[in-house]
Structure 1
Amino acid sequence: MSLSPPSSRAPGPMRRPPAWLLVAALVPVALAALPLLYVVSRGTEAGLTAMWDALARPRTGFLLANTLGLAIGVTLASTLIGTACAWVIERTDLPGRRWWRTLVCLPLAVPAFVSSYAWASLGPGFQGLGGAILILTLSHFPLIYLPAAAALRRMDTRLEDVARSLGETAPATFRRVVLPQLRPALGGGALLVLSHMLAEFGALSLLRVQTFTTAIFQEYELQFNSANAALLSGVLMALCLPVALGEARLRGRHRLARTDRRSRRQPPLARLGRAMPLVQAGLGLLTAAALGVPLAMLAYWLRVGFSIGAGTGDLPAAIAGSLELSIGGAVLTTLLALPLVLLVVRYRSAAASLAERLPYVVHGLPGLVVALALIYASIRWVPALYQSAALVLIAYAILFLPLAQSGLRAAAELVPPELEQAARTLGRGPLAAFAAVTLPALAPGIGAAMALIVLELMRELTATLLLAPAGVTTLATEVWSYTNDGSYAAAAPFAALLVLVSGVPVYVFTLRTLKTGRRGD
């Protein structure tokens, strides 16, 4: 999921950041700016004529149409399905609402490229643009459902009471009162889905759909044409940046028109009546398609694979590679995020806020653009980094800095700066006071952030494909590699482990959703 920077806290008594903190905060800012600088630099090197020739090609227009068609189609379909599910589950007398809340969240436990692997193994009929829109909608509609359902549960129902007292019908009340209050949540979710679609690579590669991401990969990996890959990256970044900026801005705002918790009450539930069987059948069909088909096909290919021993020999190396890269990436990402968080929490300024927000914008860019930027920078300036594990870890840090920032900020705001100042008065230097007082207090937040990042990095695909050293494999790259060759049985063990890993954060998040919604059951 995407993250948004919280509003800055009021400044505390500490006014001037120490030099070590400023220097440490500049490192993640420079890394986050690298993909933007790369695209500008490569475009300048190519010149206006080469840029125009690349953009004017019919293939570029085809890629643009496919990319926008996929992104808009999945976003609209996910918004309609997610909103409908949220209203039916939260505002009607649907039986078993608690269980439906769980079921509609669980598709998030299946990574999109694993779901695509399962559907593609059914036959070529699900490949192509239409199949991609269907499959990716089934994978991403929970990203709309979750904020919409949360908004409906927290919404101020007094406005609806007023509308009904004035004679408005239920549909009119929803359209004129409920929907306007849902718009910020729906807008944030829709922009999140849109940014995912613009950056999606693994699922589209397996479904044989040509978009900018797949074309960039082919230009660099198959045709060794980094110039064209950079130009296509520029076009893709031009599409992604407004979406990433809009998502960060919209999701950072207050979403609902309610203030006092005492005013909240459970609204009267709409009676489904004769539509009840149809609604239950629709939800059942939706969860069967979004969750049942991928899990059933995964179980089928696991049985086939185990019967012939396919793929299991490579499993230990893939697990080791995933753990090595994800743990190393989590450590580096957390270390880089910590000075940014401390800078904005302790020393409020426009520059600190801008530095904190930049990683959130870059988070919306495709992993392929980040990987190409690092390849270019390493070959040009630090050749020893090329094809090294360190370069993979740097890419992870750029892509997942916001995840670490969000996890660390909650812990940092609970540590009073006066404790560190007291250590300074006892003769400790700035860095020593931080290490002795603040760092131990931040340890629980650091541990939680690192655990979540490890789980997310286990399923990362695009940057790993381009940057991983020769001979290093992960669970995600093995799923992609075997499925690309049509070896579905061999890919099944790796896909099954990815589903189990992805299920951990989804399970925790679902438990929180159930707790917040339990009072309405």
Structure 2
Amino acid sequence: MSAAPVTRPVPAQRVLRLLCMAALAVLVFVPLLFVLLQAVFPQLAQGSLAQPLGHWRTVLQDPAILTLTGNTLRLGLAVVAVSALLGVPLGVLRGLFDVPGAKAWDLLFLVPFMIPPYIAAMGWILLLQPAGYLQQLSGLHVAGLLFSFQGVVLVMALNLFPAVYFAVSRSVQVTGARLGDVAAIFGASPWRAFARVTFPLALPALAASLLLVFAAAIEEYGTPAVLASNAGFFVLVTGIERRFSDWPIDLPGAASLSVILMLLALGAYLAQRWVTAGRDYATQTGKPTVAQPRPLGRWQVPVLLMFVAVATLATFAPLFAIAATALTGTLSGGLSLDNFSLRHFEALFADGSAALVALRTSFALAIGAALLTGTVGLMLAYVVVRVPGRASTLLDGMSILPNAMPGIVVAVGLILAWNQPWLPVTPYNTWVILLLAYACLLLPYPVRYAHAALRQLSPHLETSAWVHGAPFRVALWRIVLPLLAPSVGAAMLLVFAMASRELVASLLLAPTGMQTVSLFIWRQFDQGAVGQGMAMSLVAIALTCLLVGLANWLQIRYGRRSG
């Protein structure tokens, strides 16, 4: 039985809703609006609204634009296909069968998701290039495969397939396996039970995970820039970056490509909705229970070999290359005990080093982004859940809009919005612009976490406090906030981890002379100081895994307490 929404005190709720509108306007609506305005009015940067849409004929007739769009779509679909090829079988096996060491495999498959893609790409280069680690160990190299479209797809899929694996395994494990057993009891063969019951129940989770993979693939900058560009394969993200980095700067072109990229992301979202429309199934049995996993029997060894092969490629191979580079004195010295060294880490943590400055800058910005998104996300969730109405529905829709806005689109929108000559004060070319970018990109996480937790919290707790004379702010501070703190805290830890490693917005928006962790790593790679770059990468990966593990622990502890 659902609780009635809270309707008082009306003045305080209106103030809170106005604050949410103002926050979303600055964080989300303004950058999106200016991307669209620049795409419509090519002379917007000069303060003119002349010739609306006048450049679009040239844009659409430019074969380079069509090539970039086609390459982006081709790359996204190929990464989705390979991720599904890896993630679906492994996820089904994990969900249905008693795989030895199941929790260990979950942990190993989580690690690739925690490695920033541009770092994983550099690890694969060091592993597979001529005279790379693979050739040093085996005498072979496969640089021809790596620096090709197929290599780019494989590297990106190995980084993203865990999203499919976890979505499918959890969905199959919780509901599909149990109802598949029921179908078998009524005479269905194992394959028929899987095709008619288990797989349809997992379809919504699979579609959502593939949407995530597609969106991440088309908006990823690091891997295409590191690998694909060497193969002459350019995509929309690299095209947008080149229009900002090459002189003369092409603002209308960058905005037009940003709109195309956003339309691709939106199209993927609509396609996912179409695939899952009418395919949501209610089990009618209350809370789902996990079915007893089936024994693998004679298939145990082949299944374990499959898990070992994927874990070796997705987790151990890039981590080995990253760690080997970080722990060797020189690349030319190769893999030998004489070349073992901690000098790259010593250089990182030396007094006054650029790495320490980058760490402090990233930590400060990530803390700021976590606090900002946590505060705004909590207010938004409260307004959406407790103050129903059209305005609240609009706020809810705007809060998830960043999911359809790739990072480079947000960066372009912030540049266009805050680099106008008529502005008396602007955050452009300051650290504030980076904070706005991180907050926009990562806002959906605290909103969704707080939204889910708040729906489980009865509004009668607040009503009781008001009846006993507590003001609105006291009820929020003393009742609602403590109960939501674990969920919002977990989301803020995720925001911190993701903000501290964000690359594409940092590349476009960081003021001159400012370095973040991602920029430090990227520039070390660019300058040939690969050892220091990989040492910093290990620090970033360890920090990300630690914070994600802490967030997961908070969620589990909160879930047990709620249960």
Fold shared by both chains (TM-score > 0.5) = yes
For the structure 1 residues 252 and 340, does the alpha-carbon distance in structure 2 shift closer, same or farther, using more than 3 Å as the test? farther
Alpha-carbon separation, structure 2, partners of 1:91 and 1:21:
46
Query: Do residues 214 (structure 1) and 238 (structure 2) align?
Result: yes
TM-superposed deviation, 1:51: 1.1
Partners of 2:494 and 2:276 in 1: how far apart?
A: 21
Kindly state the Cα deviation for residue 505 of structure 1 after the two structures are TM-superposed: 4.5
Residue aligning to 1:112 = 117
Deviations 1:415-474 (A, max 9, x none): 655565566678776557655665566555544433332122111111122112222211
CA distance in 2 between partners of 1:414 and 1:268 (Å): 30
| Distance of 1:262 and 1:437 partners within structure 2 | 27
Structure 1: stretches of 5+ with no match in the other structure: 1-7, 516-521
- Contact 1:388/1:469 (<8 A) preserved: yes
Match of 2:132 in 1: none
Mapped pair 1:146 → 2:166: yes
Using the TM superposition, name which of 383-392 and 89-98 deviates more.
89-98
Letter in 2 for 1:475: V
TM-score for both structures, normalised by structure 1: 0.87
State the 1:350 CA deviation. 3.1
The residue type paired with residue 322 of structure 2 is L
Per-residue deviation, 1:494: 1.4
- Deviation at 1:371? 1.0
Give percent identity, aligned residues only. 28
Q: Distance in 1 between matches of 2:278 and 2:390?
A: 18
Task: Please name the residue that 1:489 is paired with.
Answer: 531
Which of 274, 277, 282 lines up with 2:301 in the alignment?
A: 277
Among 8, 19, 36, the residue aligned to 1:14: 8
Partners of 2:211 and 2:272 within 8 A in 1 = yes
Contact 2:6 2:463 in 1 (8 A): no
Stretch deviating more after TM superposition (386-395 or 41-50): 41-50
Residue 262 and residue 475 in structure 1: after superposition, are their counterparts in 2 closer, same or farther (change >3 A)? closer
Q: Which has the higher contact order (CA 8 A, sep 6+)?
A: 1
Greater alpha carbon shift after TM alignment, 18-27 vs 240-249: 240-249
- Determine the structure 1 residue equivalent to 2:31: 35
Q: CA deviation at 1:280?
A: 2.1
Shift, 1:141, TM fit: 0.8
Residue 212 (structure 2) aligns with: 192
- Given that 2:95 and 2:170 are in contact with CA atoms closer than 8 Å, whether structure 1 keeps it comes out as no
C-alpha spacing 1:85/1:428, structure 2 compared with 1 (3 Å): closer
SS of 1:321's equivalent in the other structure is helix
Structure 2 gaps, min length 5 = 43-51, 130-142, 330-340, 558-563
1:359 aligned onto 2:399? yes
Deviation at 1:150, TM superposition (A): 0.7
Q: CA deviation at 1:485?
A: 3.8
TM-score by length of structure 2 reads 0.81
Q: CA deviation at 1:169?
A: 3.1
SS of 2:388's equivalent?
A: coil
AA in 2 matched with 1:66: N
The one-letter code of the counterpart of 1:108 is: F
**Could you say if the C-alpha distance between residues 152 and 222 of structure 1 is closer, same or farther in structure 2, counting changes exceeding 3 Å?**
same
- Structure 1 pair 363–278 and aligned structure 2 pair: CA distance change class (3 A): same
Q: 1:499 aligns with which of 541, 544, 554?
A: 541
Choose from 290, 293, 297 the match for 2:321. 297
Q: Structure 1's 245 and 350: CA in aligned 2 closer, same or farther, altered over 3 A?
A: farther
1:237 counterpart residue number: 262
The DSSP-based 3-state class of the residue aligned with 1:472 is: coil
Partner residue in 1 for 2:47: none
| Most deviating of 10-19 and 30-39 | 10-19
Pair 1:479-2:536 in alignment = no
CA displacement 1:285-344 (0-9 Å, x = unmatched): 110110111111111111225566486242211111111110111112222223211111
Counterpart residue type for residue 258 of structure 2: S
Identify the residue that residue 4 of structure 1 maps to in structure 2.
Answer: none
Which one is further off, 94-103 or 437-446?
437-446
SS in structure 1 at match of 2:419 = helix
Question: Are the structure 2 counterparts of residues 509 and 271 from structure 1 closer, same or farther at C-alpha, using a change threshold of 3 Å?
Answer: farther
The 10-residue stretch of structure 1 (428-437 or 286-295) with the greater mean CA deviation from structure 2: 428-437
- Across the aligned residues of Structure 1 and Structure 2, the Cα RMSD in angstroms comes to 3.2
Aligned partners of 1:24, 1:208: CA distance in 2, in Å? Answer: 44
Asked if structure 1 preserves the Cα contact closer than 8 Å seen for 2:486 and 2:555, the reply is no
1:342-395 CA deviation, whole Å, 9 max, x = no partner?
111211123212211222122231111111111111112355311111111111
2:509 equivalent to 1:467: yes
Letter in 2 for 1:185: A
Q: Tell me, what secondary structure is at the counterpart of 2:364?
A: helix
Length, aligned pairs only: 507
